Amino acid sequence: MGFDSHRTHTRKIGSAPGTLIDLPVTSPSRLWAVHYRGEEMHEHLDIDLDDARALVSADSVTWIHIQGQPDRRLLDRLGEVFDLHSLALEDVQSLVQRPKLDVYQEQLFAILNLPRWNGEGVELEQFNLFMGEGYVLSIHAGEEEVVQAVRRRMAKVRTRLRTHGADYLFYALMDLVVDQAFPVLETFGEEVEALEEVLLERPSRDLLSAIYQHKRNLMILRRQLWPTREVVSQLMRGANDEEYFAPDLQPFLQDLYDHTVHIMDLLETYRDVVASMLDVYLSSVSNRLNDIMRVLTMISTIFIPLTFIVGVYGMNFGNNTKSPWAMPELNWYYGYPLVWGVMLLIAAAMTIFFRRKGWLGGSR
Amino acid sequence: MGFDSHRTHTRKIGSAPGTLIDLPVTSPSRLWAVHYRGEEMHEHLDIDLDDARALVSADSVTWIHIQGQPDRRLLDRLGEVFDLHSLALEDVQSLVQRPKLDVYQEQLFAILNLPRWNGEGVELEQFNLFMGEGYVLSIHAGEEEVVQAVRRRMAKVRTRLRTHGADYLFYALMDLVVDQAFPVLETFGEEVEALEEVLLERPSRDLLSAIYQHKRNLMILRRQLWPTREVVSQLMRGANDEEYFAPDLQPFLQDLYDHTVHIMDLLETYRDVVASMLDVYLSSVSNRLNDIMRVLTMISTIFIPLTFIVGVYGMNFGNNTKSPWAMPELNWYYGYPLVWGVMLLIAAAMTIFFRRKGWLGGSR
Amino acid sequence: MGFDSHRTHTRKIGSAPGTLIDLPVTSPSRLWAVHYRGEEMHEHLDIDLDDARALVSADSVTWIHIQGQPDRRLLDRLGEVFDLHSLALEDVQSLVQRPKLDVYQEQLFAILNLPRWNGEGVELEQFNLFMGEGYVLSIHAGEEEVVQAVRRRMAKVRTRLRTHGADYLFYALMDLVVDQAFPVLETFGEEVEALEEVLLERPSRDLLSAIYQHKRNLMILRRQLWPTREVVSQLMRGANDEEYFAPDLQPFLQDLYDHTVHIMDLLETYRDVVASMLDVYLSSVSNRLNDIMRVLTMISTIFIPLTFIVGVYGMNFGNNTKSPWAMPELNWYYGYPLVWGVMLLIAAAMTIFFRRKGWLGGSR
Amino acid sequence: MGFDSHRTHTRKIGSAPGTLIDLPVTSPSRLWAVHYRGEEMHEHLDIDLDDARALVSADSVTWIHIQGQPDRRLLDRLGEVFDLHSLALEDVQSLVQRPKLDVYQEQLFAILNLPRWNGEGVELEQFNLFMGEGYVLSIHAGEEEVVQAVRRRMAKVRTRLRTHGADYLFYALMDLVVDQAFPVLETFGEEVEALEEVLLERPSRDLLSAIYQHKRNLMILRRQLWPTREVVSQLMRGANDEEYFAPDLQPFLQDLYDHTVHIMDLLETYRDVVASMLDVYLSSVSNRLNDIMRVLTMISTIFIPLTFIVGVYGMNFGNNTKSPWAMPELNWYYGYPLVWGVMLLIAAAMTIFFRRKGWLGGSR
Amino acid sequence: MGFDSHRTHTRKIGSAPGTLIDLPVTSPSRLWAVHYRGEEMHEHLDIDLDDARALVSADSVTWIHIQGQPDRRLLDRLGEVFDLHSLALEDVQSLVQRPKLDVYQEQLFAILNLPRWNGEGVELEQFNLFMGEGYVLSIHAGEEEVVQAVRRRMAKVRTRLRTHGADYLFYALMDLVVDQAFPVLETFGEEVEALEEVLLERPSRDLLSAIYQHKRNLMILRRQLWPTREVVSQLMRGANDEEYFAPDLQPFLQDLYDHTVHIMDLLETYRDVVASMLDVYLSSVSNRLNDIMRVLTMISTIFIPLTFIVGVYGMNFGNNTKSPWAMPELNWYYGYPLVWGVMLLIAAAMTIFFRRKGWLGGSR
């Protein structure tokens, strides 16, 4: 997950605000619509934009969904047909990846980020929602059609989706997108706990870059999801003023808001845990390395006096046969075993001393 | 205490908000009710839900308590009988573990977390409270029936519990749940002080994971209890507006609020203390290891010049009998003792030098 | 200073709010009263509670002071005689150690913490203040009667204390308690500066636990005094609304508020300074230890090549008299002095090299 | 990028506020004007100030642009001709480098910072904007004429620039300046990612000063751009009150605001990433150095017992032919190969031990 | 710069608020006055307080300035003559060093801190300002008469100082005091940049205490100047309400406010830079020390196998002439040169190995 998504798609600096540009679109987008009123419901899986527009009326709900990043031509057409503000279209195209809510005269426009776990890390796909009188227009710049869950629920008569208006559909889609964060965070949590276990039992060096990657991903994820809370909060506060939302939807918006708060809570907890893990990792590794050095140094230290002693009897004073002071030890009967005895004594004394002091690895 | 309680119980992503699911319930829940009006009071320990509902009237107080996590069937029945919002029931089931207060048209709904020390760490049990006209419904997803304390107090006539309405009962139960944090924090505080003593006297390596565990638990506990303050604050501010609470309960709510503030204060203090302990631990361990290395290195350093000297007299120049420059020391009468003398002198000089410099462990 | 003062005195969990308990009281409390109106003033050093109550009238000021922690019986009597709220009495008894201001219907109730330096660290003594119509009731759970300073000032006719009402007396006592922090902080500041001097001149290991203790005490002190500012601020804002305070006392409350801000400022400065000291200490100690290791290692490094050289001439090739390649150096006339010369040269070269590189301790 | 830009240009302390001073101006400034009304548009590339002023009328828009830092004489003239406040002129001259919006009676005055990447780091150029009735006056203290982008867009009839008033021109120029941050941040992001790659693959020491430089630049850049958000926010809130901006410009200001928020987001993300990089770098370097030390120490440790053994057989006890205890090994038939065998065994055993313990670099 | 300025001058604890005390005053204070109305202006360099008071009238401006800390007698007289509140006088005397603004019934009272660079660090001198109807009273507890700059500007007729009232004089003096921070910060910035250069090129140990001193000074300076912003902000907000300031002074106050914001910005930037420097310094020093240790250890490591080899041929097996296995190498014709060859080979191989691994200092 790079933090540079602003690069490729930003409008050319100096061009007029609201200017669309020709971008290479990797896969074509698909458009379908669902239209319902009371117990009636029709799915139009193969429809063009103008026909979809014709379905819209004040006393029914039309849901138009575009799966995949729309090309410039389609965006231009969308703008004309639904009278969308050019700045909103620019935002749809730029994949700006910062959730926000804009209130235009004719529509409500929300951008959300739909997080997905791609096997290694988190990816964010932009999800755009327009709501006008009698219709909801959703654009999801991703491969997998996650909105199918909502379409399936809609199939049943007398569900809340069918008995409420466009506002409930708008809410249901937001709820769907926001809740996508939970399985992703679940996976994240599992990874963090796996790391934690490794950390406390056998801290290996690969942990460092794993922890760094998690920390970095969390930082970016947090910044990208943070504004979602603000979007839902704005929706709640504005629900009555703007009369976009029926009053009985307030508990549902409150519930959605609680979900966003819960997501931020989890993210912050993970962030704190990962930060703590870094500290513990660093001190673990440093402790382990210090231990090795300590043991090695202790081995050297035991041998150094012994090496000195054998050096002493390597001196050539013994050749001097004229002086009784010239290394008489060399000529003692038990001289050699005595030296060994002294050396073993010294080694034993030092080992005992180190153990008493608790300097050997065992006790701590 | 894991931070992943959201995993198992969250509603399936994409299903309708307010959908209950079938969950394995480990132990069956128990339901009992208490009904009182003035000096009368009846306990119904073996009652079914409909009979309990029938007790409710505007001029008496009915307290219905469910101990243990209710299964789906019971939740469905509760929803019907008391007209509870489906989102509230979903929250009861999901064990969402984030305190909050929801104001529905017919009821006040509060979720609290009841912290318990399980011998090793802190566990949180969800405590749900509904208040409607003339009744309080409490659901405690835990084993031990802590609400017995309130039921016992209620047994006496003329206690505040008996002379006030459902609002005071609601408050009394919140007070009970909030105060459960004190013995837990007391235990926590004792553990922290025990760690502190170990830290300053003999920092052992096990401290690291102990401190890490405490830090992590405090982080999670803080996030889980933090919103409680907000719940009580909402209750205080709303007490007059919504007319859920009699005006003379205001000082009690204020008192409850002070308790939540006190709890957060203690948690923050512990957190800061534990963070400081980590710093001190790390530097203690590092100091101790450095000390060992220093002493060991000093031993080596003293022997290295001596080893050099004995090496000198191990050279075979003395075999060269033709030159007076060829190690004449070997043939001196006191050559050998002299070498020993020089070596002892050097060792003494170095020891004194190190002591003067304060490099020996003793002075610092 | 422990952070667990909540332990012993908290009301038993589950008992009714506002319940007093029997606590062992170490020393009996003393009660006295002062009553003044215009130029009259009477001191009643040996008075019982009912007589003191009888002195109270709307057009005079009665100051009743209790020195020492009152026992349960006295608190019960106080509650009856002055109509005090049971929650306030519980707070007085629980030594809850968090400053706060409660506004009851009949009284203003403030809890303050009076900090005292006990020779080693800071202790906090609870100071309770009640103000009702025509009287001030102060309870100081400590040994030394610090309020004597106010009583002495009162002795003079025409001081502000005598010419104003109960509100000014309430203010004067708060001012007295708040100002007790200054000499404590002064002592603290002196200790910190003493530590600082030690730190920069000769960082010893005892500093670590001294700095840790200071950091910990500052953390706790800060949390305990912090709410005092809020109490005074509430008093200032409410002074006109509630008509508890005459308008001309506003500058005095402002002055008191400035004192609390100044105290918090000093505490924060100390905290930052102590945190910085910890960093500097850690790096000083680490630098110092590194220095020692560096010097020791340098000594070893100089001797190691020399030891190698003397080892070379300890080889027994010289015994091979058949080969002219067998260590002919041993038979050179100036062989031995030459070896010494080479060794001295190497030692000198290495020393110069190290000095050039700036690796010797002197230059840095 | 230094943080001391306040030095050279600040008004002399003690002189009257709003005093202009004579400053050396490195290159002369250029002035041109564009005047348009409906479909008419005239460019005046070589015009003097009074003529430019004469173009201004309430029902047309005159854009006067000054490229380069104006000298004192020109500023004095600007003040007189457009009735600008002396404090605003002082700000233009002082290159104060803190974005702000001042509302004077006759004009709106905004200071922005235009960030430019100069090949090594970021430079900030001051961009001043005045808007009065019917005119916009822009002063850009830099070399490159970035406003040309807006002039080019203006060339087309029926663009928003031509159909709106001075307010839209003011907005368009702010949008241009704010958007200059994106390519700079893009370059920054690329540099950070390049550093990141180096960090995780082969952390070299030059990274330290590179990371430090980035951290420092981000700190300064953040402080310099931060107030821009406030400026746009003020503009949005004040747009209706002051009636400087037409209501249909509100979405454009909102869009501009989102850009500033996005820029701050990127800066904060970079800052956090760079801070994390520093931590990881430090521990990488320390790990790497520890590794080297460990391997070196292990080599020594293996040789030290061997050196001891050869020392043993360098002792001269063998010369003592009278005692059977005097190093009989020397006279064994296979003595010498045996010693080698023992030594190889010891070396092998130690190597295996170290490998088992995982102390060799390979496994971790 | 100590943080204990509260020590010596605080009112005795327990004495009445607003009590002045007798303090040793090191140098006598000087009093002078300037009186102007329209084009008239008179300077009274040798005037007593009562005469100065007599000059004050509603339609002229009298500026009375006291240079140096006034003694108790003068303060008492000031209080009587200008009817100053006793708490304000106490603040003047206590050198409380926390900027604030107090609004009394008859006067506006501001305390500011005037920072001065004393060659080594920053000193703060208290500057007190009273404004009443028709007069400004300024008291500067310092040596150097910085207000002369304002008096000189006043000498000219038709300057703003002469054409406006007491409010502009009050503003001009505040502006003067606030702007004194710029040269101090300039010096500070130069010192920080000098340190930075030293840091990146040759980090010496003295840097540590230099950085610590700067960090500490910045912490204290920040706390002392921070409230200045609040003072100016209060002045701005209150300027219209209280009618102390003419409406056309609003831009000047805004300008002053911007200066205080700029000062805080610089202080925060310095603080962040110094904090970063500490991190970089610590890792630089640690890197450098590690380098030395690495090189030294490498030298040892190269010599240790060589020393082992020469030790081998120092063994006395060669004396055993009976066994062909007894160190036959000693008797080889080219034995000795061969050993040297092997040793040189080993040394070369190790050096190459270390260089390949990049363990030699050069490459990193």
C-alpha A172: how far from chain center: 25
Examine the pLDDT at B11 and tell me if it is beyond 60.
Answer: no
Query: Measured between alpha carbons, how far is E32 from E18 in angstroms, rounded to an integer?
Result: 26
Q: By the 8 A CB rule, do D2 and E192 touch? A: no
Q: Which of A275, A271, A276 is nearest to A225 (CA)?
A: A271
What letter does residue A360 receive in the DSSP assignment? Answer: S
> Is the model's pLDDT at C240 over the cut of 70?
no
What's the mean per-residue pLDDT of chain D? 83
Interface test with B, best of C212, C223, C300 (most B CBs within 10 A): C212
For residues B316 and C319, give the distance between their C-alpha atoms in angstroms, rounded to a whole number: 9
Q: Do A310 and D314 count as a contact with CB atoms less than 8 A apart?
A: yes
Chains in contact with A, where contact requires at least 3 CB pairs less than 8 Å apart: B, D
Task: Select the residue of E6, E100, E296 nearest C266 (Cβ to Cβ).
Answer: E6
Q: What percent of chain C has pLDDT over 90?
A: 21
pLDDT digits (tens, 9 = 90+) for C309-335: 888 888 887 777 777 887 888 888 888
The DSSP annotation for D296-337 comes to: HHHHHHHHHHHHHHHHHTTSGGGG--S-TTS-GGGGSTTHHH
**Cα separation of D142 and C202, whole Å?**
54
Interior angle at CA C217, CA C216 and CA C220, nearest 5: 90
Does B267 have pLDDT greater than 60?
yes
Residues of B in contact with A364 (CB under 8 A): 204-205
pLDDT band for position A96 (50/70/90)? Answer: low
Query: Phi, psi at residue B205, to the nearest 5°?
Result: -70, -25
- Where does residue E305 rank: exposed (0-12), middle (13-18), buried (19+ CB within 10 A)? buried
Which run of H or of E encompasses B214?
Answer: helix B206-241
Residue B353: C-alpha distances to residues B41, B345, C286 (Å): 88, 12, 21
Q: Pairing between strand D122-132 and D108-117?
A: antiparallel
A329 CB neighbours in chain B (<8 A) are none
Q: Kindly determine whether residue C13 and residue B179, on different chains, have CB atoms separated by under 8 Å.
A: yes
Cβ–Cβ < 8 Å for A42, A115: no
Give the whole-angstrom CA distance, residue C316 versus residue C335: 16
User: Does residue D7 surpass a pLDDT of 50?
Assistant: no
Mean of the pLDDT values across residues B79-96?
86
Q: How far apart are CA E41 and CA E158, in angstroms?
A: 12
* C39 Cα to chain E: minimum distance (Å): 19
Give pLDDT, residue C96.
62
Give the mutation candidate from C150, C294, C308, C310 for the E interface (greatest E CB count, under 10 A): C308
B219 neighbourhood in chain A, CB within 8 Å? 269, 272-273, 276
Q: Which two tokens stand for residue D40?
A: 């008419």
Q: CB-CB: which of D190, D301, D315 is closest to A299? A: D301
As a whole number, mean pLDDT of residues A179-189 equals: 87
Residue E270's SS3 state is helix
**Closest Cα in chain B, distance from residue A168 (Å):** 11
Site from E168, E280, E350, E353 to mutate, D interface, most D CB atoms within 10 angstroms: E280
Q: What is the pLDDT of residue B288?
A: 75
> Cβ–Cβ contacts within 10 Å for residue B16, how many?
18
Please give the pLDDT value at position B241: 58
A113-129: average pLDDT: 86
pLDDT of residue E12: 66
Please say whether the beta carbons of D161 and D154 come within 8 A.
yes
Task: State the pLDDT at residue E242.
Answer: 59
Say if residue C139's pLDDT is above 90: yes
Say whether E102 and C183 touch across the interface (CB within 8 A): no
pLDDT value of position B278: 80
B260 contacts in C (CB within 8 Å)?
none
Q: What is residue E50's three-state secondary structure?
A: helix
Phi, psi of D200 (to 5 degrees): -80, -20
Q: Which residue of C has its CA nearest to B322?
A: C333
Q: What is the number of CB-based contacts under 8 A between chain B and chain C?
A: 165
Give yes or no for a contact between E122 and E129, defined as CB atoms under 8 angstroms apart.
Answer: no
User: Which pTM was predicted?
Assistant: 0.78
Q: How many helices (H) and strands (E) does chain C have?
A: 11, 7
Q: Which residues of A touch D261 (CB under 8 A)?
A: 98
Closest chain E CA to residue D207: E364
Residue B357 has pLDDT above 50, yes or no: yes
Listed residue (A41, A14, A44, A12) closest to A31, CA to CA? A44
Tell me the shortest Cα–Cα distance from D20 to chain E, in angstroms.
15
Q: Where are the alpha helices (DSSP H) in C313-360?
A: 335-356
- pLDDT number for residue B4: 46
Across residues D93-118, what is the average pLDDT? 84
pLDDT tier for residue A128 given thresholds of 50, 70 and 90 = very high
Collapsed DSSP state (helix, strand, coil) of residue D261 = helix
Residues in CB range of A164: below 8 A, 6 or more apart: A246, A249
Q: What is the pLDDT of residue C34?
A: 94
Provide the b/e sequence for E79-98 (b: ≥16 CB within 10 Å).
bebbebbbbbbbbbbbbbbb
Give pLDDT, residue A63: 95
Distances D244 to D99, D104, D357, E251 between C-alpha atoms, Å: 19, 12, 76, 19
Interface residue of B277, B292, B343 to substitute, partner A, most A CBs within 10 Å: B292
| Confidence check: pLDDT of A35 > 90 | yes
> CA of C330: which chain B residue's CA is closest?
B317
CA angle C118–C119–C121, rounded 5-degree value: 65
User: Do B276 and C219 lie within an 8 Å CB cutoff?
Assistant: yes
The confidence band for B213, taking pLDDT boundaries of 50, 70 and 90, is: confident
Helix (H) or strand (E) holding E351: helix E335-356
Distance (Å) of CA A118 to CA A115, A175, A181, B12: 9, 21, 13, 20
Sequential DSSP letters for C211-265: HHHHHHHHHHHHHHHHHHHHHHHHHHHHHHHS--S-GGGHHHHHHHHHHHHHHHH
Cα C231–Cα C235–Cα C236 angle in degrees, nearest 5: 120
Residue of D nearest to E299 (CA): D296
Tell me the mean pLDDT in the region D317-323: 76
- Tell me the residue ranges of DSSP E strands in C71-221: 100-103, 108-117, 122-132, 135-140
Where would I find the beta strands (DSSP E) of B30-157?
30-37, 40-44, 61-67, 100-103, 108-117, 122-132, 135-140
Contacts of A7 in chain D (CB under 8 A): 186, 189
In what side-by-side order are the strands of the sheet with D40-44? D40-44, D30-37, D61-67, D135-140, D122-132, D108-117, D100-103
**What pLDDT score was predicted for residue C6?**
41
Pick the residue of D292, D309, D334 with the most E CBs within 10 A to test the interface with E by mutation. D292
Mean pLDDT, residues C292-297 taken together = 82
Contacts of B176 in chain C (CB under 8 A): 13-14
Mean pLDDT, chain A, whole residue set: 83
Whether pLDDT at B246 is above 70? yes
Q: How many CA atoms within 13 Å lie on the side-chain side of E153?
A: 21
pLDDT at B361: 57
**D214: which 2 tokens?**
């980035």
Would you tell me how many other CB atoms lie within 10 Å of the CB of residue A304?
22
- DSSP-derived 3-state class of residue E334: coil
Chain C positions touching E327 (Cβ under 8 A) are 316
Q: Indicate the residue of A2, A96, A310 with minimum beta-carbon distance to D311.
A: A310
- Min Cα–Cα distance to chain A from B280, Å: 12
Binary contact (B298, C293; C-beta < 8 A): no
Binding partners of E (≥3 Cβ pairs within 8 A)? C, D
Among the residue ranges B168-177, B214-223, C211-220, E280-289, the one predicted with the least confidence is E280-289
Taking CA–CA distances from C285, the nearest residue in chain B reads B287
Contact between E17 and C175 using a beta-carbon 8 Å cutoff? yes
Over chain C, what is the mean pLDDT?
A: 83
In this complex, do C182 and E13 lie within 8 Å of one another by their Cβ atoms?
yes
Nearest-Cα residue of chain B relative to residue C290:
B290
Q: B158 vs chain A: nearest CA distance in angstroms?
A: 39
Integer distance in angstroms from the first to the last C-alpha of chain B? 42
The pLDDT of C115-138, averaged and rounded, is 88
**Residue D241 banded pLDDT, cuts 50, 70, 90:** low
Enter the ipTM.
0.72
Say which of A189, A273, A327 has its CB closest to residue B336.
Answer: A327
| Neighbouring chains to C with at least 3 Cβ pairs closer than 8 Å | B, E
Summarised one tens digit per residue, pLDDT across range A268-314 is 888 888 888 887 787 777 777 777 888 888 888 888 889 898 888 88
At residue B171, the pLDDT reads: 93
Q: Is D182 within 8 Å of A10 when comparing Cβ atoms?
A: yes
Q: Is the pLDDT of residue D282 over 80?
A: no
Distance CA E270, CA E262 (A): 12
Tell me the two tokens of residue B38. 């003035």
Going by pLDDT thresholds of 50, 70 and 90, the confidence category of residue A110 is very high
Domains, chain B: 3-284 (3.30.460.20), 290-356 (1.20.58)
User: Strand locations in chain B, DSSP E?
Assistant: 30-37, 40-44, 61-67, 100-103, 108-117, 122-132, 135-140
Q: Which two tokens stand for residue A82?
A: 């639904």
CB D254, CB D236: distance < 8 Å: yes
CB E205 within 8 A of CB C287: yes
Q: What are the per-10-residue average pLDDT scores of chain E (364 residues)?
A: 46 74 77 90 89 91 93 90 90 80 86 86 89 93 89 84 90 92 87 82 74 83 86 77 76 89 87 82 75 83 89 81 79 86 92 84 44
Residue with tokens 């600008």: D84
CB C193 within 8 A of CB C270: no
Greater confidence (A305 vs A359) lies with: A305
